[in-house]
Amino acid sequence: EVQLVESGGGLVKPGGSLKLSCAASGFAFSSYDMSWVRQTPEKRLEWVAYISSGGGSTYYPDTVKGRFTISRDNAKNTLYLQMSSLKSEDTAMYYCARHDSGYPFAYWGQGTLVTVSA
Amino acid sequence: DIQMTQSPSSLSASLGERVSLTCRASQEISGYLSWLQQKPDGTIKRLIYAASTLDSGVPKRFSGSRSGSDYSLTISSLESEDFADYYCLQYASYPWTFGGGTKLEIK
């Protein structure tokens, strides 16, 4: 069974940093592209980062480019999202998701909550 | 960026009723569209990809279709577990973007 478990969320001050993790199990993690998606308190969904299976390709929307970095450790079956220069508008539930054969977001984790507030 | 306009934003319907949700893309997305379901506990599940391909294990009462730039999710006969939030998503080009969501409630 595919399992994705996010962790690392919490309360952080504006301008601060936070690193999220997503532990994967039940599948060959190194064979799959992955993404992070966030859901705002208004329930709007926004894709925030993509990484290819081997880690060689990454993509970000302009809203987080230069502030967020997606990475992975295939030996540890873990996906990461390093977030810096955080703003109040980054407050959201952050989900990791697995892609499938070129079709994104086939499986989702349960999410980890990030709150950016003074 | 491609804008996905989803309608309606909320819908009240009865058990056994047939309902349809729609997403309109601001640019051509050539069928690169998925539908997602989010339950009240936050669990998100993909139902459909490539506009009309049902994910494994998804009940056949769900179906997806396309008419020009309009994409639809249809539930043929509502069951209690179908009352949830639904989102469309385009992955034709970066940045991938989502519709605003439809809240499906019991009438």
Q: What is the per-residue pLDDT across B11-54, written as a single tens digit (0 to 9) for each?
A: 999 999 999 999 999 999 999 999 999 999 999 999 999 999 99
Average pLDDT for residues A96-100, to the nearest whole number?
A: 97
Q: Is the pLDDT of residue A68 over 90?
A: yes
Token pair for B90: 């385009």
Inspect the interface and report whether the beta carbons of A95 and B36 lie closer than 8 Å. no
Cβ distance A98 to A25 under 8 Å? Answer: no
Task: Please judge whether A106 and B36 are an interchain contact, meaning their C-beta atoms are less than 8 angstroms apart.
Answer: no
Burial of A26 (C-beta count, 10 Å sphere; 0-12/13-18/19+): exposed
pLDDT tens string A11-52: 999 999 999 999 999 999 999 999 999 999 999 999 999 999
Residues in chain A closer than 8 A to B1 (CB atoms):
61
Give the pLDDT score at A102: 83
pLDDT of B91 over the 90 cut: yes
Separation of alpha carbons A96 and A89, rounded Å: 19
Q: How far is it, in rounded angstroms, from Cα B16 to Cα B20?
A: 13
Q: Which two tokens stand for residue B62?
A: 């769900």
* Nearest CA among A113, A114, A98, A4 for reference residue A52: A98
Residue B86's pLDDT is what? 98
Q: And the tokens for B34?
A: 């998925």
pLDDT for the residue numbered A45: 98
Q: How far apart are CA A91 and CA A103, in angstroms?
A: 27
Are B55 and A104 in contact (CB < 8 Å)? no
CA-to-CA dists, residue B96 to A81, A94, A104, B5, B48, angstroms? 18, 16, 10, 14, 16
Q: Does A27 touch chain B (CB under 8 A)?
A: no
**Cβ(A114)–Cβ(B51) under 8 Å?**
no
Report residue A101's pLDDT band, with 50, 70 and 90 as the boundaries. Answer: confident
Mean pLDDT of chain B, nearest integer = 97
Nearest CA in chain B to A36: B96
pLDDT surpassing 90 at residue A59: yes
